[in-house]
């Protein structure tokens, strides 16, 4: 079901987790056109798949999550105005699809997380990283214009001061500084990354999906300017949780001192 038209993006469903792995290790998983284009259709399928409670993005091999865009394609894709417009729309569509996806998303980062890799990571809800991860936004060294949505995601996540520091200097930072800035939530030794990821996939498989979806949507509303905040939507989402079979199951399980079994209904 979760197949792509390119070998450079691998997918598999493990329990309630959909894994999307960027598979271009010869170029440190640099994002080529076909890799960008593969993401939105996968998310469209996962959105309506009740089996999926979490989408995890990762990079193939041990050296990189994503090392940026595949600059070997820049001459063709970004040399002319029409090509720039097409390339930016394609990348924007993929990143917006991740950011607006209603279910939780997680970036599992090892090695290089550079430029477009950071954009993918900060479009996700959560980020975990091994201690050998390296982060940078080198746009200022390439003369690139950075799209508004990616810049906003960065500022919303780590604040304007830290975002300016990383962007203006284009310097590389390690996993420890990334955690201190809030760019990632948790770090661990490389050999422990699979176990840390399993902790997240296990928690998301067990916890109430309606509650998680409601909280994600409400947090998005919180970040909007006051006039745009949809209070009615927030109230409706909260009411939906209290009126769900999952809420009944949660209360019953608590009283019976057992683990709840949530169905998302």
23 to each of 19, 53, 62, 122, 174, how far by Cα in Å? 12, 23, 11, 19, 23
Residue 260 lies in a domain: no
Pair 238, 130 in one domain: no
Pair 83, 120 in one domain: yes
CB atoms within 10 A of CB 59: 26
Q: What is the CA radius of gyration of the chain?
A: 19
Residue 122 CA to residue 158 CA, distance in Å, equals: 10
Pair 170, 235 in one domain: no
- For the stretch 159-181, pLDDT in tens is 999 999 999 999 999 999 999 99
Pair 196, 219 in one domain: no
Where among 185, 204, 223 does a domain terminate?
A: 204
Residue 262 lies in a domain: no
Could you tell me which residues come within 8 angstroms of residue 254 by beta carbon, excluding any fewer than 6 positions away?
260
Say whether pLDDT at 78 is over 60: no
Residue 189 lies in a domain: yes
Number of structural domains the chain divides into: 2
Q: What is the average per-residue pLDDT within 61-67?
A: 95
Pair 116, 246 in one domain: no
Where among 184, 204, 224 does a domain terminate?
A: 204
Residue 66 lies in a domain: yes
Residue 31 CA to residue 37 CA, distance in Å, equals: 10
| Domain that includes residue 231, residue range | 208-255
The pTM of the full predicted model, rounded to 2 decimals, is 0.91
- For the stretch 84-141, pLDDT in tens is 777 788 889 999 999 999 999 999 999 999 999 999 999 999 999 999 999 999 999 9
């Amino acid at each position: 079901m979760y197949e792509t038209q390119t070998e450079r993006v691998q997918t598999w469903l493990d329990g309630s987790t959909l894994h999307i792995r960027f598979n271009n290790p010869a170029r440190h998983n640099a994002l080529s056109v076909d890799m960008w284009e593969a993401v939105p259709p996968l998310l469209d399928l996962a959105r309506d798949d009740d089996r999926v409670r979490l989408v995890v993005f990762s990079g193939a091999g041990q050296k990189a999550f994503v090392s940026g865009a595949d600059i070997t394609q820049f001459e063709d894709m970004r040399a002319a105005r029409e090509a720039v417009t097409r390339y930016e729309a394609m990348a924007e569509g993929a990143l917006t699809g991740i950011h607006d996806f209603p279910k939780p998303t997680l970036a599992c980062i090892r090695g290089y997380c550079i430029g477009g890799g950071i954009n993918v990571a900060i479009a996700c809800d959560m980020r975990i990283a091994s201690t050998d991860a390296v982060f940078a936004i080198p746009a200022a060294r390439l003369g690139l214009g950075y799209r508004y949505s990616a810049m906003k995601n960065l500022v919303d996540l780590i604040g304007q001061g830290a975002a300016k520091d990383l962007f203006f200097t284009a310097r590389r930072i390690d996993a420890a500084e990334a955690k201190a800035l809030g760019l990632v939530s948790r770090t661990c030794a490389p050999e422990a990354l699979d176990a840390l990821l399993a902790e997240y996939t296990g928690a998301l498989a067990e916890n109430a999906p309606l509650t998680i979806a409601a909280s994600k949507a409400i947090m998005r509303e919180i970040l909007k300017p006051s006039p745009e905040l949809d209070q009615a939507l927030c109230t409706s989402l909260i009411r939906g949780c209290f009126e769900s079979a999952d809420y009944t199951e949660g209360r019953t399980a608590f009283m019976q001192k057992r683990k709840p079994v949530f169905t998302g209904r």
